[in-house]
Amino acid sequence: WMDDEREEGIFNYVITKSFTFDDITLSDFRFGQDLPPSDGLGIFDGSKDLTGMMIWNGAFTASRFIVANRHLFQGKGILELGSGCGLSGLVLSRIAKKTILTDRNVDVLDLLHLNIQNNAQDSNCTSIKLSWGENLDSLRDQLGRLDIITGSDIVYSSSSMTALFTTVDFFLKQDSDSKFITIYDPVFL
């Protein structure tokens, strides 16, 4: 699923665990527990962003919200922005009609793809590369109808807000009934 030689050491920090939210269990779920200790990989100088390799508290909050409010997502087409390793998106995929998980980082997308293979029960869950605010017109036909655009703990820098809302606005304009739901862990607000 990925070539460990491509980026030295990044995937040495990936662990496997199972998560259960009510009646939904994700097994053989992989994520990065800790970032590598040195900056030899370009993580701390900003040239390599591996934030999506980790599970943030908002993904647990979102997963619990999704399960408790499954009526909002049943039968819907969902686009999750900044999916990272995919915890809450895979919970969505067990409920929604169609779920598209996104991230901009190719290393994170490799991990996301593996988690989809291990945990998506139907072919209703896919992943694509999406950089907020970029090449949105080319995705319009590919993605089809989207009822809900969602994301959890997706903004940690104010510099990304314009690109995020450009993307959200673009997809909301495709259907006047579409909604944007973003979830953050209340401890960090």
How do residues 12-23 score in pLDDT, each as one tens digit?
Answer: 556 788 999 999
**Do 79 and 171 meet the contact criterion of CB atoms below 8 Å apart?**
yes
- Residue ranges for the chain with pLDDT beneath 70: 1-14, 33-48, 186-189
Q: Which residues lie closer than 8 Å to 100 by C-beta, 6 or more apart? A: 77, 78, 79, 80, 125, 126, 127, 128, 143, 146
Average pLDDT over the chain, rounded to an integer: 83
pTM, two decimal places: 0.85
pLDDT of residue 189: 52
pLDDT of residue 160: 86
Give DSSP secondary structure letters for the chain. ---TTTSTTGGGGEEEEEEEETTEEEEEEEEESS--SSSTTSTTTTS---GGGSPPHHHHHHHHHHHHTGGGTTT-EEEESS-TT-HHHHHHHTTSSEEEEEES-HHHHHHHHHHHHHH-SSTTEEEEE--TTSSHHHHHHHH---SEEEEES--SSGGGHHHHHHHHHHHHTT-TT-EEEEE--GGG-
**Do 124 and 93 meet the contact criterion of CB atoms below 8 Å apart?**
yes
How do residues 48-58 score in pLDDT, each as one tens digit?
Answer: 677 888 888 89
